[in-house]
């Protein structure tokens, strides 16, 4: 096939077909439109204020590596006035996270950003390796997910940042929409498409890649020769998400706009007021001070189960009853250090609403 020239500059040879628009464009125009679209997302959603301290949740994988690079580029190009940090969570998974953290450490030098690594071992006294050796490979992703979410907030508090940005891309969000529909999880369905969650949480969290296709992120990393790490977590089958993902990729192959269409339909769902009213009121965990919808937050509940040798107590009601039957929580139980919010001053009690 004869090489065609770029649909935008009309000069250079086109190098890729944009899944979002079908346009055939050259490498330089691709860099420009990709970066500009992320910039437009940031500006339209008013994600940042000048002077904000922003932590980039960095795993060493493709999305967060590209996010760090693009955030640095845009912050300089458009003078956002942000102070950028890399924040990594070390789950303590030998042969997986230790390798990917090496990538993050290189990114720290390449992008000249301060890096904070917070480990599960340091925060909870349990690495994922230790958790898996106690609970097996069935529910370990529950522990990891709950612990990571809280660890990111705590790491952000240590950095005293105003905001966490994560590399979630359009494909991830479309997958989550599908999963929430399949599970009938109406509260999460309402929340999962919002670009920024605030009020629900202690520290603002947003997804500047909400509209960026995974294909373009990978192409961007490839053309820019960015240094990223790609290995599947050795413990994670996350089978359910895997099926949603394979299904979504099949849809995308048939019609590339499917991804953005699914995000749009997730956004279009409206939740009735009376349903919202039944959702739990946000409170503060009695034991560790973290945001919670119960007297004890999920991480404290899971940690107590681990410490008392009844890891299932945080997962099933039956496990919980068994734990309660064993007697009250011992005084010398290991707990998570008390959570101190950064100086911003967010309301301690907020009703959990889709924003």
Find out whether 239 and 3 touch, Cβ atoms under 8 Å. no
**Is 98 one of the binding residues for other proteins (CB under 8 A)?**
no
The only residue of 253, 275, 333, 348 in contact with other proteins, by rule CB under 8 A: 253
Ramachandran angles phi, psi of 165, nearest 5°? -110, 140
The neighbour count for residue 315, using CB atoms within 10 Å, is: 17
Report the chain's C-alpha Rg in angstroms.
21
Least distance in angstroms from the C-beta of 236 to other proteins: 8
- The reply to whether 151 sits near other proteins by the rule CB under 8 A is no
β-pairing, 53-57 with 83-90? Answer: parallel
Residue of the chain from 9, 43, 182, 246 that contacts other proteins (CB under 8 A):
246
Q: How far is the CB of 147 from other proteins (least distance, A)?
A: 17
* Token representation of residue 315: 């997962």
- 58 in a known ligand binding site: yes
Where b means 16+ CB within 10 Å and e means fewer, 266-286 reads beeeeeeeeeeeebeebebbe
Q: How far is the CB of 151 from other proteins (least distance, A)?
A: 17
Q: Which is nearer to other proteins, 250 or 326 (CB)?
A: 250
Alpha-carbon separation of residue 328 from 97, 107, 314, 333 (angstroms):
36, 46, 15, 11
**DSSP-based three-state secondary structure for 271:** coil
> Exactly one of 250, 261, 324, 326 binds other proteins (CB under 8 A); which one?
250
- Is 318 a residue that touches other proteins (CB under 8 A)? no
CB nearer to other proteins: pick between 66 and 285: 66
Tell me the closest approach of the beta carbon of residue 310 to other proteins, in angstroms: 30
Among 252, 304, 307, 352, binds other proteins (CB under 8 A): 252
3-state secondary structure (DSSP) of residue 112: coil
Q: How far is the CB of 9 from other proteins (least distance, A)?
A: 16
Binding of residue 240 to other proteins (CB under 8 A): no
Q: How many helices (H) and strands (E) does the chain have?
A: 14, 10
CB contact burial 55-66 (16+ within 10 A = b; e otherwise): bbbbbbbbbbbb
Q: Interacting stretch for other proteins, rule CB under 8 A, among 146-154, 155-163, 165-173, 200-208?
A: 165-173
Q: Which two tokens stand for residue 304?
A: 């107590």
Cα–Cα dist 256/102, whole Å? 34
233 binds other proteins (CB under 8 A): yes
Q: For other proteins, what does the binding mask look like between residues 54 and 93, x meaning CB under 8 A?
A: -----x-xxxx-----------------------------
Helix (H) or strand (E) holding 90: strand 83-90
239 binds other proteins (CB under 8 A): no
Binding residues for ATP: 57-59, 63, 89, 167, 172
List residues near other proteins by CB under 8 A. 1, 4, 13-17, 24, 59, 61-64, 167-169, 171-172, 214-215, 217-219, 222-223, 230-233, 245-246, 249-250, 252-253
């Amino acid at each position: 096939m004869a090489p065609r020239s770029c649909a935008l500059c009309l000069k250079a040879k086109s190098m890729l077909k944009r899944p979002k628009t079908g346009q055939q464009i050259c490498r330089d125009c691709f860099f420009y439109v990709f970066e500009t679209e992320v910039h437009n997302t940031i500006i339209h959603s008013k994600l940042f204020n000048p002077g904000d301290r922003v932590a980039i949740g960095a795993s060493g994988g493709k999305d967060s590596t590209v996010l760090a690079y693009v955030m640095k580029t845009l912050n300089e190009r458009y003078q956002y006035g942000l102070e950028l940090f890399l924040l990594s969570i070390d789950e303590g998974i030998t042969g997986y996270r230790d390798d990917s953290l090496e990538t993050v450490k290189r990114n720290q030098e390449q992008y000249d950003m301060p890096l904070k690594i917070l480990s599960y071992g340091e925060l909870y006294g349990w690495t994922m390796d230790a958790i898996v050796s106690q609970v097996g490979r069935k529910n370990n992703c529950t522990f990891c997910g709950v612990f990571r979410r809280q660890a990111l907030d705590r790491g952000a508090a240590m950095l005293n940042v105003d905001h966490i940005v994560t590399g979630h891309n359009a494909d991830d969000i479309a997958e989550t929409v599908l999963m929430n529909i399949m599970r009938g999880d109406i509260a999460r369905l309402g929340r999962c498409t919002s670009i920024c969650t605030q009020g629900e949480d202690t520290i603002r969290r947003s997804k500047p890649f909400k509209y960026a296709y995974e294909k373009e992120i990978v192409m961007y990393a490839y053309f820019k020769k960015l240094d990223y790490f790609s290995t599947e977590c050795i413990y994670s089958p996350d089978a359910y998400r895997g099926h949603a993902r394979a299904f979504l990729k099949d849809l995308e192959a048939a019609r590339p706009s499917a991804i953005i269409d699914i995000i749009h339909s997730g956004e279009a769902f409206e939740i009735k007021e009376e349903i919202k009213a039944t959702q739990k009121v946000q409170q503060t965990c009695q034991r560790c001070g973290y945001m919670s919808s119960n007297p004890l937050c999920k991480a404290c509940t899971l940690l107590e189960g681990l410490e008392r040798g009844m890891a299932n107590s945080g997962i099933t009601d039956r496990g919980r009853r068994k734990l309660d039957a064993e007697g009250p929580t011992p005084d010398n139980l290991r707990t998570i250090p008390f959570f101190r919010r950064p100086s911003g001053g967010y309301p301690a009690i907020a009703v959990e609403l889709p924003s």
